[in-house]
Amino acid sequence: MQKKKKAVLQSRPPLGRMLHIHDELKQNRLPNATSLSKQLEVVAKTINRDIAYMRDQLGLPVQWDAQSNGYLYTSYVDGFPTVQISEGELFALLVAQKALEPYTGTPFQAPLESALQKLSEGLKDKVLISLDRLDTPVSFKSAGISNADLETFQIVTRAVEQQQELHFDYKKLGASDYQQRRTEPLHLCCVENQWYVVCHDLQRDALRTFALVRMRNLQPTGKHFKRPQHFNIQNHLKDAFGVFVGAHKYKVRVHFDSWAAQLIQEKNWHPAQAIETLDDGCVEFRIELADLFEIERWILSWGSHAKVLAPPELKNRIREHAQAILANS
């Protein structure tokens, strides 16, 4: 005759139990080990151990009240301290908070602030004090924030996460009107404060990158697709100066004078870049790219301090821009 296996209770993880205990205490229900052990399906010893941890390690004001035969909070508790971080991590949180400031006044402000607030509420009181104390020496300034609206962002995000086909009207840069696109959205990315979604364009059977700000009439179809296993955003963008890639590769060489040389060497512009310092203090910037549009704008921003050496296509485009600028002056 086989022995019956002893039943094993599937209890919640420790954090889940403590969150439940916290909720009972915050609602002033005066729970005790007996009532909590029944609710959470664990032995009273486990409850006592959880409460001791909450009091001694998390610093929560938990106290036994003999008169009511239950536990209570002796002072107001806002949120459960689920996160414990070091001073270095705290400073990183502060930097994240400051990084959100450019989104003030945009549709993204409220959800971003709400998310950061929830993170902050999970910290111990002593950490929150430090956050206030460090709240001034870091700031961010952005050259411009995308005007993409929150609804568009949410629809695209859901479509990417749920791997769902997305139809929308899109106005290409320089185009006079919108065109309908049928896509399988693969990846959402933010480059230079502009949100883009990389998609498989079903009509063109090719990967295309769309700026969210140029999309309208978004329609999730409910039809799901399987994201290609071979798709990798790092590989897709490795030959892009920003987000745009094409079929042809260009070996770009740009000469920067001695004034711009220091500025060029102070930043890592692209993982594949190479910078050679010349004897006269100038530098030569080299990179291989699959599209010239974004580096073209970058070179123009340096004015007379930059000279394109290769490829010929890029030299001609820069020359045409320079002539147009002179004609419009």
315-324 exposure pattern, b = at least 16 Cβ within 10 A, e = fewer: eebbeeeeee
Number of H helices, E strands in the chain: 11, 11
Helix (H) or strand (E) holding 186: strand 179-191
Tokens of 125: 């009181």
CA distance linking residue 148 with residue 214, whole number of Å:
8
Amino acid residing at 94:
L
pLDDT digit string, tens, across residues 232-251: 999 999 999 999 999 899 99
Q: Note whether 98 and 140 are within 8 A (CB).
A: yes
Question: Dihedral, CA atoms, 232, 188, 109, 135, nearest 10 degrees?
Answer: 10
Quote the Cα angle for 85-89-94, to 5°: 115
Q: Hey, what amino acid is at 84?
A: Q
Q: For position 147, what pLDDT does the model report?
A: 79
- How far is residue 306's CA from residue 48's CA, in Å, rounded to a whole number? 70
pLDDT at 6: 43
List the structure tokens of 71: 């536990």
CA dist., res. 66 & res. 185, Å (int): 60
Q: Tell me if 258 sits within 8 A of 232, measured CB to CB.
A: no
Q: Give the separation between CA 244 and CA 257, rounded to whole angstroms.
A: 28
Q: What is the pLDDT of residue 290?
A: 96
Helix or strand run (H / E) with residue 97: helix 87-99
Structure tokens, 47: 């409850």
Residue 143: what pLDDT? 72
Which residue numbers in the chain have pLDDT < 70?
1-13, 82-88, 90-91, 93-94, 102, 104-107, 118-138, 140
Residues in the chain: 329
Query: pLDDT tens across 37-83, in order?
Result: 999 999 999 999 999 999 998 889 999 999 999 999 999 987 787 66
What residues contact residue 315 under an 8 Å CB cut-off, 6+ apart? 308, 309
How is domain 14-73 classified at the CATH fold level? Arc Repressor Mutant, subunit A (1.10.10)
Contacts of residue 35, defined as CB under 8 A and 6 or more positions apart, other chains included, come to: 70
What is the helix, strand, coil percentage profile of the chain, to 5? 40, 25, 40
Q: What DSSP letter does each residue of 267-282 carry, written as one string?
A: S---TT-EEEE-TTS-
Q: Where are the domains of the chain?
A: 14-73, 87-133, 150-237, 250-328
Contacts for 77 with CB less than 8 Å, ≥ 6 apart: 22, 25, 26, 60, 61
Residue linked to tokens 């019956």: 4
Query: What is the reported pLDDT for 50?
Result: 94
Phi, psi of 184 (to 5 degrees): -115, 100
Q: How does DSSP classify residue 194?
A: E
150-237 fold: SH3 type barrels. (2.30.30)
Q: Return the closest-CA partner of residue 281 out of 263, 267, 268.
A: 263
